[in-house]
Chains A and B, each alone.
Chain A
Amino acid sequence: MENTLQAVPQNWYLVLSTLLFCIGIMGVLFRRNAIIILMCIELMLNSVNLLLVSFSAYSGNSDGQVFVFFIMVVAAAEVAVGLALMMSIYRNAASTDINVLNKLKW
């Protein structure tokens, strides 16, 4: 099998990760369930990871892959805390609808 780096232009990876990022943004604006909003944030983080890996592959330097490592660490910590928050919110409000949580709204 020939090399992917020669067969696929790097711009295509740029467009793919931009599209994934925008789908994540649309999900955050589109849904009202807080858990799905968290999942869309994961989608956006992953599009950035894909972009970093593609730049690292096309420049032949593995620094970008180490950055992706740290993004994964932060994402895992974020999800753990976020889901714990969601559990305690559900216990108090009996719902994960973000419109219930509008006390801080101006």
Chain B
Amino acid sequence: MSLYLFLTLAILTIISALAVVFSKNPMYSVLWLIVCFFTIAGHYVLLNAQFLAIVHLIVYAGAIMVLFLFVVMLLNLNADTEPHKSNLSKIASAIAAGLFFVVLIASIRATALGEFNLPNKTNIGFVEEVGKKLFTDFLLPFEISSVLFLSAMIGSVLLAKKEKK
């Protein structure tokens, strides 16, 4: 049952990721990317990372993709304004990515991955476990990331502001 669930989600993920790359209209690309993020959240639920799945939906589908949609609409991008590369460089990019995939798969096959003893506890993704880790072992990075957010906020406001002539 969960094998079929995994296969369905994986195929949906791949198809929507390909649709992001190949759709002519940037608006459709954004919408396909949202579908892709939803399927990745499904994978997280299958992997016992329930809290992370919810956070992923809130942050990516809720915040980042809305930002993308907003910018695409604000700049009024559509299929007519979309710049196109020559066919040669398109084929070259597909071949380059395919070769990189082959190299990565070959290196994965050559690596001796240790066999995991499958864990019998399934609560590693709950808020309690992740929160304990976040506020004890990873407290310093957690606090520093707030500074990162503050600087990103100030930076983006400064960058997007109209310059005075």
Chain A residues with CB under 8 Å of chain B are 1-8, 10-16, 18-27, 29-33, 35-36, 38-40, 42-43, 46, 49-50, 53-54, 56-63, 65-66, 68-70, 72-81, 83-88, 90-91, 95-97, 99
Are A65 and B49 in touch, CB under 8 angstroms?
Answer: yes
| Inter-chain contacts of A83 with B (CB < 8 A) | 67-68, 71, 156
The answer to whether A69 touches B49, judged by C-beta atoms less than 8 angstroms apart, is no
Contacts of B88 in A (CB 8 A): none
Specify which of B21, B59, B153, B159 is in contact with A85 (CB 8 Å cutoff).
Answer: B159
- Total interface residues on B, using CB and 8 Å? 86
For the complex, what is the distance from the CA of A77 to the CA of B63, rounded to whole Å?
11
Residue pair A25, B97 in contact (C-beta under 8 Å):
yes
CB contacts (< 8 Å) of A78 on chain B: these are 152
On whether the beta carbons of B93 and A72 are closer than 8 Å, the reply is no
Given A29-B97, A63-B133, A88-B160: A7 touches B75 (CB 8 Å cut-off): no
Judging by beta carbons under 8 Å apart, are A76 and B59 in contact? Answer: yes
In angstroms, how far is the closest chain B Cβ from the Cβ of A2?
6
Q: In the complex, which residues of chain B have a beta carbon less than 8 angstroms from the beta carbon of A11?
A: 108, 113
- Closest residue of chain B to A46 (Cβ to Cβ) is B40
Our pick among B36, B68, B148 for the contact of A43 (Cβ within 8 Å) is: B36
Chain B 1-22 near chain A by CB (<8 Å), digits 1 or 0: 1110110001001100110110
Q: Is the CB of A80 within 8 A of B17?
A: no
Chain A neighbourhood of B159, CB < 8 A: 81, 84-85, 87-88
Distance, CA A69 to CA B47, complexed state (A): 16
Are A90 and B75 in contact, CB atoms less than 8 angstroms apart?
yes
Q: Is the CB of A7 within 8 A of B21?
A: no
Decide: A22 near B133, CB < 8 A? Known: A7-B6, A56-B124, A76-B64: no
- Contacting A at CB under 8 A, from B116-140, are 116, 118-122, 124-125, 129-130, 133-134, 137-138
Instruction: Give the 4 A-B CB pairs with smallest separation, nearest first.
Output: A60-B119, A29-B93, A26-B97, A77-B152
